[in-house]
Structure 1
Amino acid sequence: MDFGLSMNPNIDVGQIEGAFMQGVGMVTMEEIIWGDEQHKWLESGSLFTQGPGTYKIPSFNDVPINFRVSLFKNAPNPFAIFSSKGVGEPALTLSTTVFFAIKKAIESYRHDNGLTKYFALNSPATCEKIRMACADNFTKDVVGEETYENFQPNGSY
């Protein structure tokens, strides 16, 4: 990642790793739940998932074993204080690659099961959405034969 001269490379690498994993959580785990007709125990219109106590966030076990971060050397930024590095959104937004890799894997699995139609997969790609998007005999039993061909994991048919 290139964003100037590093004042402390260890801190910069840690910030990049943390931002990437925060983004992975955003696109795979952090499902927003609003009070509505599906969630009768919530007041209509209220947000249930208001912090890490009410939804799953990435932990150290979720960090890839082979996770490589490197910084460009001798890449000054004349517009920053002391030509320092500024860690911002690039590492967070890079995590969308995880979402699209999951969608591509699901698409391949669906193709192997004879389903070539477009399917929608909204973020976050939770385990439940991934399983239901991997249309096969199990999901056919769950949603029924007649909706199987047009089944969308996000609840639209």
Structure 2
Amino acid sequence: SKNPKGTWKDWAQTAFDESISLSAVGYFRGYESDMNWEKGEGHPFEYFVYGAACSEVEIDCLTGDHKNIRTDIVMDVGCSINPAIDVGQGILHTRGPDQYKIPAICDMPTELHIVLLPPSQNSNTLYSSKGLGESGVFLGCSVFFAIHDAVSAARQERGLHGPLSLNSPLTPEKIRMACEDKFTKMIPRDEPG
């Protein structure tokens, strides 16, 4: 109100000169829940997303290469505004700007089955929607764990029992070395730390 005919530049300069922040912060407490924590009944949060994924993979113990044979996903997406977006259109292969990899057709499972549960109404959320960002990322971990199980099975066939630690990303080199055989034992290992 001090300078109603000023320009945006004038107002920004005045705010800077007077040490006035031009940003704002908000906090949403959430809706009242009908959760009974003692009995473990009710719905604690409106945007909870439920889903399950199962993947079948094949690994090549000699090269460390892997193939995603099949993935099945079931998700509760509330009332989907656009199921094509909720199902998704690709895979993120970027670990950083220097590691960008364009997804190829071979990155898709040979068989991909996605089922969205029937719409469920929720008057407390926008258009009865649910937040689908993080849940889809976690469901993708089914491929990681399927590779882990395949490497464990290959090790057991070689008589290697005991704990197996694999870290993401599971590169062909990591898969190959984790399978262990007489050739991998000739390669010096990096010691942690």
TM-score (norm 1): 0.63
Residue 12 in structure 1 maps to residue 86 in structure 2: yes
- Residue 89 (structure 1) shift: 0.8
* C-alpha distance in structure 1 between counterparts of 2:153 and 2:136, whole Å: 27
The aligned counterpart of 1:146 is: none
The aligned counterpart of 2:191 is: 156
The aligned counterpart of 2:62 is: none
The aligned counterpart of 1:34 is: none
Q: Which has the higher contact order (CA 8 A, sep 6+)?
A: 1
* C-alpha distance in structure 2 between counterparts of 1:98 and 1:129, whole Å: 15
Q: Percent identity?
A: 43
The aligned counterpart of 2:182 is: 137
* C-alpha distance in structure 1 between counterparts of 2:135 and 2:164, whole Å: 28
- Which structure is higher in strand share? 2
Higher radius of gyration, 1 or 2:
2
Compared CA separation, residues 134 and 119, structure 1 to 2 (3 A): same
* C-alpha distance in structure 2 between counterparts of 1:81 and 1:93, whole Å: 23
Structure 1: runs of 5 or more not aligned: 31-49, 144-150
- Residue 91 (structure 1) shift: 0.8
How many pairs align? Answer: 118
The aligned counterpart of 1:64 is: 109
Contact 2:151 2:179 in 1 (8 A): yes
Compared CA separation, residues 131 and 55, structure 1 to 2 (3 A): farther
CA RMSD of aligned residues (A): 2.4
- Which structure is higher in helix share? 1
Compared CA separation, residues 57 and 129, structure 1 to 2 (3 A): farther
**Corresponding residue to 1:98 among 143, 154, 160:** 143
Compared CA separation, residues 74 and 55, structure 1 to 2 (3 A): closer
Q: For each residue in 1:34-74, what CA deviation from the matched residue of structure 2 results, as whole angstroms up to 9, or x when unmatched?
A: xxxxxxxxxxxxxxxx31x4344643320112111121123
Structure 2: runs of 5 or more not aligned: 1-74
Residue 75 in structure 1 maps to residue 111 in structure 2: no
Compared CA separation, residues 55 and 7, structure 1 to 2 (3 A): closer
Residue 102 of structure 1: SS of its match in structure 2? helix
